[in-house]
Amino acid sequence: MRQSNSRGAMQNNNRDGGRFGNANRGPNNNFGPNNANNPAFKKRTQTKKKNNPLQGDRYVDYLDMKLLGRFINDQGKILPRRITGVSAYQQRRIVEAIKYARHLALMPFVALDTR
């Protein structure tokens, strides 16, 4: 609904602030700001919960290369916990163990060059 203000300019008094034009007017609007039919409003897809590879194990050994190798990618970068599925506490211990193993030259800092 448009009304003129005291200066004679037209003013939009809709709840949406005029962002949706005429499509948002009427009792059967399907394009409200939080409506699932609105193309701009998309729900996030459910991501599958990753199983914890450590399964409650509280100790991460820096000498266990097989275990630590699961938490680095092919370039030698440490994988984030959203990829690996470990808890924040376990991620801190894993990063600490990987860095210590790198310092002792048990693990490489970068992957081998494959040319």
At 112, the pLDDT band (50, 70, 90 cuts) reads: confident
* Domains along the chain with CATH numbers: 1-43 (no CATH), 46-115 (4.10.640.10)
Q: Give 68-77 pLDDT, tens digit per residue.
A: 999 999 999 9
Q: Give 6-60 pLDDT, tens digit per residue.
A: 666 656 565 656 565 655 555 555 556 666 666 666 666 777 777 888 887 778 9
| Structure tokens, 62 | 């820096």
pTM reported for the whole predicted model? 0.57
